[in-house]
Amino acid sequence: MATTAAAAAATLSAAATAKTGRKNHQRHHVLPARGRVGAAAVRCSAVSPVTPPSPAPPATPLRPWGPAEPRKGADILVEALERCGVSDVFAYPGGASMEIHQALTRSPVITNHLFRHEQGEAFAASGYARASGRVGVCVATSGPGATNLVSALADALLDSVPMVAITGQVPRRMIGTDAFQETPIVEVTRSITKHNYLVLDVEDIPRVIQEAFFLASSGRPGPVLVDIPKDIQQQMAVPVWDTLMNLPGYIARLPKPPATELLEQVLRLVGESRRPILYVGGGCSASGDELRRFVELTGIPVTTTLMGLGNFPSDDPLSLRMLGMHGTVYANYAVDKADLLLAFGVRFDDRVTGKIEAFASRAKIVHIDIDPAEIGKNKQPHVSICADVKLALQGLNALLDQSTTKTSSDFSAWHNELDQQKREFPLGYKTFGEEIPPQYAIQVLDELTKGEAIIATGVGQHQMWAAQYYTYKRPRQWLSSAGLGAMGFGLPAAAGASVANPGVTVVDIDGDGSFLMNIQELALIRIENLPVKVMVLNNQHLGMVVQWEDRFYKANRAHTYLGNPECESEIYPDFVTIAKGFNIPAVRVTKKSEVRAAIKKMLETPGPYLLDIIVPHQEHVLPMIPSGGAFKDMILDGDGRTVY
């Protein structure tokens, strides 16, 4: 059955992401393509920043049809994924998606990694994308399978992670009848995806998959959902692979290369400044080389957001490490005293800025970001450039290379001032006999891995300590749920990163609360023998909430103890025994003197490993700027052993 352009547009319109009225979400949404395919319709390879579609795979005994012979919609889908360069998917089967899984068994190219929960598979796809820069793909069935993807889609939207989520749906005739395992997943995910589709014609599959990958990876990256009814998966058709994408509105709004006169204006501001600072975020993850070159040419100190860790080496003399609520004193000092703030690939998040009026109040602000909705959303810049940060940095570097003076200012006095702050206010912690400071365990890990491991985390105190005390030397080395703050992220994300980086050591630094939320994924790392090391900083509490209870609620415990109240002296649950149930070697340490040897053994043991490190729940993450506070409100000492 031939599909008219009008029908194709109707299919898009039926599932198009609608305006939510919330600016923070509107910025991501893609308007539906309308009208006929015309001059603005393009092939994926013509404009996509990712690898052009691969040629058709050869026929195999499991896939015996020729190019002009019909095959199921599910097989067309899998072939479309292959043509977009997909080699790994994270899929959990169910009734409405089993046709896709049957088709995956016929693929000579794609490997499915069978996580044990849809949330786990989706976080794995996110970890895969974060660690590689490629689009992560997850597949789930309809109903509860699809809704289990929701947290990971919201996480990917907030952290700008390129993902394509494919869901099975009940047959078209049953949509809207409250059929078994029917949920309107397009409606459910409308405000937490960059775009989504409900495929109502089997002949649309090649075009929709091309568009989904292009949308996910171009502009500001984000998640795209494709919902495919089961009867579409079963329908026979001959695919047309040279179908053009139909995204004229989206393509027209993609940012253009930065204007030279704007870049020259930025450099003039740099030349006039005496206390400049680079504030670098996740938007620079593809621009590490250009950023380092820019710093080399200008001598401007760098601080990064939580998402920006690794985009500039944290052991560089000009690195001030992380800023914000739990950032270093010297990073926050630098922003507070700066006369020029170069904000590259950032969104002025509340955990960075605190009291927005007091943030960088002495500075002129230059904001470069690929998303126009972020410009001026939280903090009004003096100069704004809506462009790819990589192109902007390349342009700035080219202008600096052409300049006869190279660096127009001497920032040595500023460097000396910040070095003095580093000496006066280094990151540090107290020790109490053989109790294990969690910060110490991370320092030992950093030393033994030489700062080369990929680090994933859950969310909480352990996440902040991992950000503070591990040395990040390159982009895509740090994986964490920053915007959404989703507990349970660490283990599946580490596994996804391991799939994307075969043979590389990946360490999940986790808390006992976060780890328990997706502990079932120990099965996957054992079955695939992935070199994922799980280092649990186990304080038997919901640590970050406990810290806030200590500071602001007179230490009143409101359901934050995660152990067994009837026997608080025992460690509960017993992660070592649970790990052994998954046939994963595991050890528990309770003394500081045992930590180094235990971490060394963990790293030297092939395959997966779990190390349960018992740490005191009284420890606080410091420094700390209270929510809504400013640099002057920073807390530098104290812990749960103190009464406030």
Query: Tell me: the pLDDT tens digits for 266-291?
Result: 999 999 999 999 999 999 999 999 99
Task: Tell me the β-bridge partners of 511.
Answer: 537
> Which residue in 230, 379, 390, 592 is the catalytic one?
230
User: Is there a domain that residue 562 lies in?
Assistant: yes
Domain CATH code at residue 162: 3.40.50.970
Longest dimension (CA), the chain: 76
Query: Tell me: the pLDDT tens digits for 348-400?
Result: 999 999 999 999 999 999 999 999 999 999 999 999 999 999 999 999 999 99
Domains held by the chain: number: 3
> Which residue in 79, 82, 99, 118 is the catalytic one?
118
Q: Is 181 a catalytic residue?
A: yes
Is 209 in the same domain as 233? yes
Is 393 in the same domain as 445? no
Q: Shortest CA distance to 199 belongs to which of 100, 109, 110?
A: 100
> Which residue in 181, 296, 473, 520 is the catalytic one?
181
Output 52 or 270, whichever has higher pLDDT: 270
Output 501 or 7, whichever has higher pLDDT: 501
Query: Tell me: the pLDDT tens digits for 427-465?
Result: 999 999 999 999 999 999 999 999 999 999 999 999 999
The residue among 399, 425, 451 that closes a domain is: 425
Task: Tell me the β-bridge partners of 91.
Answer: 139
The alpha carbon of 391 is separated from its chain's Cα centroid by a whole number of angstroms, namely 22
Please state, in angstroms and rounded to a whole number, the distance separating the CA atoms of residues 445 and 466: 10
Compute CA distances 485 → 107, 303, 304, 546, whole Å: 36, 21, 18, 16
Domain CATH code at residue 359: 3.40.50.1220
Specify the pLDDT at position 65.
87
Give DSSP secondary structure letters for 320-345. Answer: EEE-STTS-HHHHHHHHH-SEEEEES
What mean pLDDT value characterizes the chain?
Answer: 91
User: Is there a domain that residue 411 lies in?
Assistant: yes
Specify the pLDDT at position 59.
57
Q: Is 118 a catalytic residue?
A: yes
Task: Tell me the β-bridge partners of 457.
Answer: 509
Domain that holds residue 207: 71-252
| pTM higher than 0.85 | yes
Alpha-carbon radius of gyration of the chain: 25
Is 449 in the same domain as 579? yes
Q: What is the phi/psi pair of residue 398, to 5°?
A: -65, -40
Query: Tell me: the pLDDT tens digits for 198-250?
Result: 999 999 999 999 999 999 999 999 999 999 999 999 999 999 999 899 999 99
Specify the pLDDT at position 57.
56
End-to-end CA distance of the chain: 72
In percent, the amount of the chain with pLDDT more than 90 equals 87
User: Is there a domain that residue 639 lies in?
Assistant: no
Q: Is 322 a catalytic residue?
A: no
Residue 56: pLDDT band (50, 70, 90) is: low
Is 537 in the same domain as 483? yes
> Which residue in 163, 464, 544, 624 is the catalytic one?
544
Query: Tell me: the pLDDT tens digits for 501-541?
Result: 998 999 999 999 999 999 999 999 999 999 999 999 999 99
Is 533 in the same domain as 576? yes
The residue among 425, 459, 479 that closes a domain is: 425
Is 576 in the same domain as 460? yes
Is 547 in the same domain as 463? yes
Beta carbons of 487 and 463 less than 8 angstroms apart: no
Is 409 in the same domain as 275? yes
> Which residue in 180, 406, 591, 600 is the catalytic one?
180
Beta carbons of 505 and 599 less than 8 angstroms apart: no
Beta carbons of 446 and 308 less than 8 angstroms apart: no
Is 605 in the same domain as 556? yes
Is 601 in the same domain as 490? yes
Q: Is 123 a catalytic residue?
A: no
Task: Tell me the β-bridge partners of 165.
Answer: 138, 225
Compute the C-alpha angle 511/140/458, nearest 5°.
10
Count Cβ atoms within 10 A of the Cβ of residue 567 and give its class: 0-12 exposed, 13-18 middle, 19 or more buried: exposed
Specify the pLDDT at position 66.
86
